[in-house]
Structure 1
């Protein structure tokens, strides 16, 4: 999905100051966030955002970035890369970065189902096999915890805003409003409500075939909080708890993830 030639070309990518970067580990809700930001852009500009290129920045052919120069602003740049692997021009031009996180247990379960449901990507023989690889960071885009540690260093940066998947599930209207304010979009309460209604998991899943084609039903599988309880063994749950303690306990991101509420309750 990501060739070395594409990564070399990505180093020289020319970001704009009004680019909107959406960073997340896979299966943390990146398509959800992409939809919300697209709706916000439409509300303020009446320009329907379309995706002439695969929206994940690091995926595609090396010529992709030359073609992207023709895109109108603001461009949405989704990525699963660590902060320090992003093109330098993103920081030089102070592009705004939205970082979406989801609790690691639900992320792992969603990632497992994604691998086993979507044609043309490697599948795993069992959940136990996938869990072992996930904990070692030997899955696509590497370790969830390495990703989290790397991004946690920038949680207080002025051009970076962290969002929690579970917070969006709990109060989508509030989340949409916060995202709009961070991006500097001035919207009415009515517009915020309309966007929130269009952006529920159920609404997006109902239109997924239309918006994402055949892969749509795999991208929007359940969208639940706590689905991990259906697959995790007790020993696996304990192993994840220990990994969280080792990597994120005491950090700003660790507190924001509300791990006890979502992964131990």
Structure 2
């Protein structure tokens, strides 16, 4: 381990996973230890991959996609928890298992998940011309959500104080690296590959429109009844009560929902309840500098 962080990782009184770097991107150590196998992962042409920066609407998108693939059948989408239905290819947790092994054992067609930045995506996904769905969330809300996720998820480093985590996020010293580089890397790749690039805020503002777009990309035509059903069952309030989607089946020693629920608010603009005026000014300056030259735009509130 190149980072001397064992004491820091225990600062909240619990044993936390250690971290290291893969090609300059911070990752949980088990991912680093298995990196060669992850990089050599063999995609199949009919794989469907969902990719996001952490806490950018991943589980929400997975649930929508599963409903689309199952024509709105609620029973089918509740056949297993999210992390079983969608192998997380770079994730290894001893008490849960290896996403890589899970994916390799899954029959086709597979629906898979990753948080990897574009430059770390296993090459076979592009070689096999797989369909990839990418979802981006405005960085202020993404930061807040990721902070609370770190607090409850012992498979990630302890976040430290809000002020400390704010600095870590700005400098990209968090697992899966810089938000700015992540969203820009996938944005720049979208025209060269089969990538559907969506925005969390659009999914919140016009869910049925975005669900229909997802259906078209996947190759499923959705009638209005199925569309209404999917929009309802993938709404935040319904998913929050669904044990197959809210991660309540994960052992408490990994995710402690009493610290912060996995599905916390799902709102746009919650950052205003966390950022100080000075932090907001600093964030905006940093954002303008790092996002200069890109056509990407985000909604920070409604």
TM-score (ref. length: structure 2): 0.77
| Pair 1:64–1:240, CA change in 2 (3 A) | closer
Per-residue deviation, 1:54 = 7.0
Cα deviation 1:176-195 (Å, max 9, x = unaligned):
11001011112222111111
1:24-103 aligned at under 5 Å gives the runs 24-43=52-71, 48=77, 50=80, 51-52=83-84, 55-60=87-92, 65=100, 67-103=102-138
| Pair 1:67–1:29, CA change in 2 (3 A) | closer
CA distance in 1, matches of 2:121, 2:136: 18
| Pair 1:75–1:209, CA change in 2 (3 A) | closer
| Pair 1:222–1:216, CA change in 2 (3 A) | farther
| Pair 1:124–1:13, CA change in 2 (3 A) | closer
Per-residue deviation, 1:148 = 1.9
Q: Which of 263, 267, 283 pairs up with 1:240?
A: 283
Q: Which of 174, 177, 182 pairs up with 1:139?
A: 174
SS at match of 1:90: helix
Q: Which runs of 5 or more residues in structure 1 are unaligned? A: none
**In the alignment, what sits opposite 1:228?**
271
CA distance in 1, matches of 2:123, 2:243: 34
Q: Which of 288, 294, 297 pairs up with 1:251?
A: 294
**In the alignment, what sits opposite 1:14?**
42
1:126-165 aligned at under 5 Å gives the runs 126-165=161-200
The number of equivalent residue pairs is: 259
Contact 2:91 2:100 in 1 (8 A): no
Contact 1:83 1:151 in 2 (8 A): yes
Contact 1:208 1:216 in 2 (8 A): no
SS at match of 2:71: helix
SS at match of 1:219: coil
TM-score (ref. length: structure 1): 0.88
CA distance in 1, matches of 2:41, 2:111: 14
SS at match of 2:192: coil
Per-residue deviation, 1:79 = 0.8
